[in-house]
Amino acid sequence: MKFFVDTADVAAIAELNDLGMVDGVTTNPSLIMKSGRDITEVTKEIAEMIEGPVSAEVVALEADAMVAEGRKLAQIAPNIAVKVPLTWDGLKACRQLSSEGHTVNVTLCFSANQALLAAKAGASFISPFIGRLDDINLDGMQLIADIRQIYDNYDFETEILAASIRTVNHAFEAARIGSDIMTAPPEVIRKMAQHPLTDKGLEAFLKDWEKTGQKIL
C-alpha cells in the first residue's frame, strides 16, 4: 500500500519522508489555508522534496476554467497531480487534462458510481472520503470495498486513494480491503506505530536491564 501524506506542512512531510513513509502528498484548499502559505510556493517546495505525486487542487467550478487552473498547477513541477472535484464539470476537466498527459486526482468522491465515472474519464486517482461518510452515519469503508470490486471487475487502472482517513482503524481497514493508496494526516501515520503492549513490554525490559548493571555502549 502506498502512503500519501494529507498535509501542506513541509516539516511534517520531511520527517516522514526521511523514514521512507511518503509515496506522495495530497493537499486541498483547506490544507493550503492551514499552512498559511502561498499555494505555488508551498506546492513547489513539497514537490521538490518528494519523488511521488503531489496533488494540488483547482478551485474553479466550470470545466474550461478548471482545465486552465490545472495546466497552471501542473507547471509547478513534473510530479504534480491535478486535483479536480467529482462534478460533471470536474469529469470533463479530468478527461481533458488526462488526455494532455497530466496526472489527475478526482476528489470529493462519495459513491461507487462517481468512482466508476472518474475511471471512465481517465482519472489516475480516485479519492473517496471515508471520514466524511462516517460523519453522517454512512459506511465509508464499504465504499472503498465497493470501488475495489468494481475496478477489479473491469481492470480499471485508476488507483483508489482512500482519503479523509481520521483513525488508525481507517488505515488498517483500507489496507485490508486493498485500497491502492491511503492519504492520512501525519499524526495518524505516527499513531500507527503505537501499541500499549509495546510500551509496557519496553518498560519491563528496561527495568530488568537496569538490574543487570550492564551497558551496551
Contacts with ligand G3P, residue ranges (CB under 6 A): 6, 26, 28, 129, 131-132, 163-164, 166, 183
SS3 140: helix
Q: Which is nearer to ligand G3P, 17 or 26 (CB)?
A: 26
SS3 27: coil
Least distance to ligand G3P, CB of residue 26, Å: 5
Q: Which is nearer to ligand G3P, 6 or 173 (CB)?
A: 6
9: cell is 506542512
Q: E strands within the chain? A: 2-6, 24-26, 54-57, 80-85, 103-109, 125-128, 159-162, 181-184
Residues classed as catalytic: 83
Q: Which is nearer to ligand G3P, 6 or 146 (CB)?
A: 6
